[in-house]
């Protein structure tokens, strides 16, 4: 059986990692653009109702109002707000035999994604890097230093990552998924991370916060901050979350 490093899925992730020294010289294949909307001009159209009469009142504004937010109020998040967003991301919601099912789905219920966070401005929580212990619903403190600026620097100097109350960092323990699914498991890992991030963004919206997903980072700089061995576990995705100013339009920088 090939080891992880020999798998093409693993190679793909390493080959597409950003490095500070080489990011400006990356050669991208010249792939022609296509429209964002797929059209079937010859197909019969079925108009969809827009004024539905469903009991969906709670989720509609969250979906409608979620926007990537990169400027935040200078107001800390409460620890209970952070706890709620973490629960929304990966909290355990049911038990079945040895499986602990969570708020977000996971291919094969293998849960390869780990959550870390940089607490920048959270009441009753010292600033620094933490790991979310899903099983015990607790945080493991990883250092005792302010980590916001270092995280922002590792995320291609996107300053809002350090200005947000919290920046979440999601890694994958590839083996959890690849042992069962091989290279295809890489797909599932990436999809899992997407579910988790969207859960956090909607949960943030529900409590007057906003967030921005981030996939532009120097992979190994984030791995180093979190002391991850990229042969086993590597950064996949991130998001900043902070208090939402009342009427601020999303500031698009990427």
Ligand X SMILES: Cc1cc2nc3c(=O)[nH]c(=O)nc-3n(C[C@H](O)[C@H](O)[C@H](O)COP(=O)(O)O)c2cc1C
Which residues bind to ligand X, rule: CB under 6 A?
Answer: 67-68, 70, 158, 212-216, 250, 252-254
3-state secondary structure of 20: coil
* Minimum distance of ligand X from residue 248's CB (angstroms): 12
Q: Give the burial class of 198: count Cβ atoms within 10 A of its Cβ; 0-12 exposed, 13-18 middle, 19 or more buried.
A: middle
3-state secondary structure of 124: coil
Helix (H, G, I), strand (E, B) or coil at 12: helix
CB-nearer residue toward ligand X: 123 or 253: 253
Q: First-to-last CA distance in the chain?
A: 41
Q: Which is nearer to ligand X, 119 or 164 (CB)?
A: 164
Cβ neighbourhood burial of 29 (10 Å; 0-12, 13-18, 19+) = exposed
CB of 219 to ligand X, least distance (A): 13
Min CB(141)–ligand X separation in Å: 26
7 or 215: whose CB is closer to ligand X? 215
Comparison of 159 and 175: residue with beta carbon closer to ligand X: 159
Least CB distance to ligand X at residue 93 (A): 25
Would you say 85 or 139 has its CB closer to ligand X?
A: 85
Task: Report the residue number, 125 or 169, with the smaller CB distance to ligand X.
Answer: 169
Reduced to 3 states (helix: H, G, I; strand: E, B; else coil), residue 232 is coil
Q: What is the DSSP letter of 172?
A: E
CB of 105 to ligand X, least distance (A): 18
Placement of tokens 């977000």 in the chain: 104
Question: How many angstroms separate the CA atoms of 242 and 244, rounded?
Answer: 6
Locate 64 and state its tokens.
């409608």
To the nearest whole angstrom, how small is the minimum distance from the Cβ of residue 213 to ligand X? 4
Q: CA nearest 166: which of 133, 200, 120? A: 120
Cα–Cα dist 143/6, whole Å: 33
């Amino acid at each position: 059986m090939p080891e992880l490093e020999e798998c093409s899925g693993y190679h793909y992730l390493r080959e597409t990692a950003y490095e500070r020294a080489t990011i400006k010289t990356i050669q991208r294949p010249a792939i022609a653009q296509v429209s964002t909307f797929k059209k079937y001009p010859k197909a019969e159209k079925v108009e969809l109702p827009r004024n539905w009469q469903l009991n969906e009142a709670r989720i509609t504004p969250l979906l409608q109002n979620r926007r990537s937010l990169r400027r935040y109020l200078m107001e800390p998040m409460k620890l209970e707000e952070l706890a709620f967003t973490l629960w929304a991301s990966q909290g355990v919601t049911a038990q079945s035999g040895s499986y602990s099912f969570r708020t977000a789905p996971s291919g094969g219920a293998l849960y390869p994604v780990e959550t870390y966070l940089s607490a920048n401005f959270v009441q009753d929580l010292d600033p620094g890097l933490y790991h979310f212990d899903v099983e015990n619903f607790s945080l493991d403190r990883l250092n005792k230093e302010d980590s916001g600026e270092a995280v922002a620097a590792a995320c291609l100097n996107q300053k809002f990552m350090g200005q947000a109350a919290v920046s979440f960092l999601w890694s994958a323990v590839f083996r959890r998924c690849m042992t069962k699914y091989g290279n295809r498991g890489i797909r599932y890992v990436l999809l899992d991370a997407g579910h988790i991030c969207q859960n956090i963004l909607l949960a943030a919206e529900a409590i007057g916060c906003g967030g921005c997903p981030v996939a532009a980072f120097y992979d190994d700089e984030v791995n180093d901050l979190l002391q991850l061995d990229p042969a086993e576990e590597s950064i996949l995705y991130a998001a900043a979350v902070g208090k939402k100013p009342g009427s601020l339009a999303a500031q698009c920088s990427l």
